[in-house]
Amino acid sequence: MIGRREFIALLGGAAATWPLAARAQELGKQATIGFLGTGTAVDQSQWTAAFVQRMRELGWIEGRNFRIEYRWAEGHTERLPELADQLVRLKVDVILTHNTPGPLAAAQATSTIPIVFATAGDPVGSGIVKSLSRPGGNVTGLSSQAPDAAGKRLELLREIVPRLQRLAILADLDNPYVKLEVSQSHEAAGSLGLEVATYEMRRGEDIAPAFDALKGRAQALYVPATPVAFVNRIRINTLALAAQLPTMHGVREYVKAGGLMSYGPNWPHMWARAADFVDKILRGAKPGEIPVEQPTKFDFIINLTTAKALRLTVPDKLLALADEVIE
C-alpha cells in the first residue's frame, strides 16, 4: 500500500504535469486573449473557428479556462491603434492579430504583452520581427509571405485568359506588404510580357473611382488581400464582373464572394497553427524565442459560375490542379 506521504508526493508530481489549461481551470482562473481583427466578426468567422477549435484540442475551452476579448476594425485600419490600446488597458495575457497592419498596431501599443500574428506578409521587411528564426521582443507568429506566389497567380491568370496583355492591380499601397506584392507582380509581369497598371484603393470610397479609371484599360484584375479589400470583396467582384474582368486573389473567401480564382496560403490552417503559438506562450514560452513559421499549405480555388458569367473556358489542366472548384 502507498502511505499518506507517498500519496501526497505522487499527487504533487501529477499536478506538476497537468496541462496549464487544466490547472488554470482548477484554480478558477481564466486566461484572456485579446483578439485584434482587421475585418468583421462575420467575415472572419471561419478563421476564428479554426483558432478556437485548435485551442480546444490543446485543452483550452472558451468560457471555462480562457476567454477572448474581441475588437474589430471592420476594414478601417486607421482604427487599429485605438483598438490595440483598448486591449492593452484590459491587461490581456496575449494579443492575437493578423495581416500586416494588425501586428504593427499591436507592437506599437505594447512591448510587454505577447503578440501572435496568424498571418502577416513579410514580417521582417515590415519591421514586425527582427528575423524569422529569432523574432526578438514580444512578437511572433506565422508569415503568409511566399515570394513566388505573385508570379504563380499571373501564370494562372494567363492560362485562363490566353490573350492577356494588360493587367490592372487594385491595391492599398499604404500596406507595407502590399507594396512588396505589387513590386513582385510587376517583376513577374515583365517576364511574362504583360503591361501592368496599379490603381490605389486605401478606403472603400476609392473602389468606384478606381474602376472608372481602369475601365477599358485592362483585361484582368489582380486584388492583393488587404483589410479594405476583404470587407469590400463582394462589391469589388460585382464591379469586376460588370466590367467583364477576370479576377485573381490570394484568399479563398474572395472567390467564394464571386471572384474568379485565388492562389495562396490556406488561412484557416494558419489560424489553427496560431493556437499552438498562443498555447506555448500561455504555458510560459517567450514569444521572441519562438521562430516565425512560413506557409506550408497552399490552395488554388476556381469559381466556375464566375467563369461562365465571363464566358471563359477553364482548361481541364487547371481544373485538375484546383484544390476546390466552386459551382
Strand ordering across the sheet containing 324-326: 195-200, 166-171, 220-222, 247-249, 261-265, 298-303, 324-326
Q: Are residues 307 and 183 in the same domain?
A: yes
For the record, the C-alpha cell of 167 comes out as 493587367
Mean pLDDT within 235-251: 96
**From residue 302, how far is each of 37, 183, 240, 262, 323 by CA, in Å?**
27, 25, 16, 7, 8
User: Do residues 289 and 193 both lie within one domain?
Assistant: no
Instruction: Let me know whether 208 and 110 are in one domain.
Output: no
The answer as to whether 11 is a domain residue is no
Angle at 47 between CA 43 and CA 48, to 5 degrees: 90
Considering the domain boundaries, does residue 5 fall inside one? no
Q: What is the mean pLDDT of residues 113-125?
A: 92
Does 134 lie in the same domain as 271?
yes
pLDDT at 7: 39
One domain for residues 26 and 125: yes
Residues 173 and 60 grouped into a single domain: no
Same domain, 109 and 238: no
Q: What Å distances lie between residue 149 and 129, 133, 298, CA to CA?
A: 22, 22, 10
What is the rounded CA–CA span in Å between residue 300 and residue 320? 10
For residue 206, name the pLDDT band (cuts at 50, 70, 90): very high
> Rounded mean pLDDT of 264-274?
94
Dist. CA 166–CA 214, nearest whole Å? 10
Query: CATH no. for residue 287?
Result: 3.40.50.2300
The answer to whether residue 6 scores a pLDDT higher than 50 is no
At residue 278, the pLDDT reads 98
Q: Is the pLDDT of residue 2 over 90?
A: no
Same domain, 133 and 158: no
pLDDT tens profile 45-57 = 999 999 999 999 9
| Residue 111 predicted with pLDDT over 90 | yes
Residue 79 within any structural domain of the chain: yes
From the list 62, 71, 68, 66, the residue with the least C-alpha distance to 36 is 71
pLDDT tens for 130-157 read 999 999 999 999 998 887 899 999 999 9
How far from 315 is each of 26, 169, 176, 240, 319, CA to CA, in Å? 58, 24, 35, 21, 7
Residues 167 and 231 in one domain: yes
Do 285 and 252 reside in the same domain of the chain? no
Q: How many domains does the chain have?
A: 2
Same domain, yes or no: 23 and 42: yes
Residues 31 and 172 in one domain: no
Lowest mean pLDDT across 169-178, 216-225, 286-295? 169-178
Domain annotation covers residue 95 = yes
For residue 260, tell me if it sits in a domain: yes
Residue 315: inside a domain: yes
Other Cβ atoms closer than 10 A to 131: 11
Which residues, including other chains, have CB under 8 Å from residue 103's CB and lie 6 or more apart?
Answer: 97, 115, 117, 120, 123, 128, 139, 141
Range of the domain at 128: 18-143+267-297
- Give pLDDT tens digits for 12-45: 443 333 444 444 444 457 999 999 999 999 989 9
